[in-house]
Structure 1
Amino acid sequence: MATEKSKGKAPICLSHVVSALSEGFLRHTRVERIEQCILLNALELIQDNVKTFTVYDRRGLLHNHFWKSYGDGDRWPIRPNRRKARGWDVPDYFCDVHNEDSTIPEDQCSLYLIERQGKDAYISKYNVSQPRNLTGIILCFLDHKHAHSRILRAKCHDYKLPENWIDIKGVLNAMCEMKYIIPPDEHICQPYMQRELCSVDGVDLGMPDLVISVQPGMYDIIRFIIIAVYVKLIWVLFILFPQWIKPPVAAPVDIGIIIRSILARIGTLIFKETQVVYAFGPSGIPPWFLAEAEIHQCFGMDLSSFRKCVNAFFNCQRRNGR
């Protein structure tokens, strides 16, 4: 439900919302659950007249997932509960080795249009030439490669870029080495470059008004641990009865990320009056996204948690002058 504005006050404009998905959230939340949450929250933001909903994950896993699911140009009906796993199936996680080895084409679509028609909702690739539906929202997927490629491909400078290349591991394949360079400040701060950084697939998204840092919820962490234990038990049965049991593939368990996620959630419950937004990390959200945005944090990406952050934006005391 859209937040009601106080009478006699100018309406608060919320045009661009960004959700920055943490590594812990991506590793410990089922793929189908993340997809459902993104689609449902996008439909919810339409009621607040939000024009753009950007999903940022560092490795581009969701970028790749949505391109494989909805990037063929067709208009797909949104049915959040259409994928149901069978009773003994192990759900897919983004930290699965099959997902890590996938590659993303450079010409892959980054923008989708989600629109409502009565009680139905549809998702399709966003076409710049088609008229914008007033009841729709642009869904954008970004990863950390967007800024690097925009900066390095720009031809608006008349000086030589630095030659100090930095080696990093591959974005999706740890066996593949990649390199990048850090350009000087005078190169990034040009107005042309600022427009380039906010442009995706030929569309100017504009600066975000609200950035929501998404951390894993306790429900997803506990479910992940239970599934990991379940898979270990299945492997024991496979060793005893190899001809009868087919062992499932389990997502690798990172104890450090699990402990940090649990402590972050406990810390938020203890300091209830103060919202602590945890660091995005060295490969986190682009800093220009934070220049004009209000930052909030939620644990889990379900409708109620996400809605609290949007409501907090509308109810900000400084913005309302109280």
Structure 2
Amino acid sequence: METLEEAELCFPQLNTSCKKRPRSQTESVLIYSLLPCFSLITVVLNLLVIISISHFRQLHTPTNLLLLSLAVSDFLVGLLVSPFQILLAEPCWLLGDLACVLCSLLPFISVPASIVSMVLISVDRYVAICIPLSYYNKITQRTVKRFILLCWFYSVLYNLLFLIDNLRQIGRFNSCYGECVINVNGAVDIVISFIIPISAIIILYVRVFVVAVSQARSMRSHVAAVKLQRSLTVTVQKSELKAARTLGVVVVVFLMCYCPYYGISLSAYNFMMGSLANTFIFFLVIINSCLNPVIYAFFYPWFRKCVKLIITLQILKSNSCQAKVLK
């Protein structure tokens, strides 16, 4: 009987050892089958987005730079967050308290980076649709690059401050040895990282939707009297509206996948790394990171064309970066 009890402990030689957490078959399938599969797909698809926007000069626009930032965040989720989550899902945490805190930094950095990128994308679409005459003066590549750098700097700094209690006294929230628990101030986090940015996104997109509907009605009512110059303006407006619709789908999918994460964060509970709830939350994050390139492939012809050029190794040819991938 004593041997059986010792076998159930993470560290049988320690009196303060945790008991090995039992795992259901559903959880095992999620961790060892679905999570690695979606992780690999996420890495490949987002790498295609990164290569496409980085390589082809025709895609070097402010909006695409924001998509590039989002793709980098999604790529890191698939490459780093998912493997660490599989490691954290083991019945016992064997790497020590310091590694527990450090491993938790990766997912906590990628989440706000994605959210801030979404806010920047919403601002970009708002200016393009609602203030079109000022767009090319206000939204330049240099300006966007600065905001992207600030986005990532903010994500790292915020999460260092966010996890300061866990870093001051490492392992203070663990109830036994072999456990990895991260204290989360849910009330503060959900206001700064969710309510404020998501409210901004919703307000901006509601405004974009209202203006888009107004423009669509105006274009339909005046389509017969459009001159050549006006026709070019209408074409540009249609292009901007299509981009707004596509990015609107990205925002909606983002909200659907991240709301459960912040719903649990709102309860201000301690994250037990590797628990079923924690694994399910990060599985939704992986799904979101995987779906974004799928949305691009469905709505953006240029992305499909870029993928074809990449897969067929056409990008290795000289001057391939000058290829016209936009119609």
Instruction: Report 1 or 2 for greater relative contact order, CA contacts < 8 Å, sequence distance ≥ 6.
Output: 2
> So what's the TM-score if we normalise by structure 2?
0.28
Higher strand share: 1
> So what's the TM-score if we normalise by structure 1?
0.29
Structure of greater Rg: 2
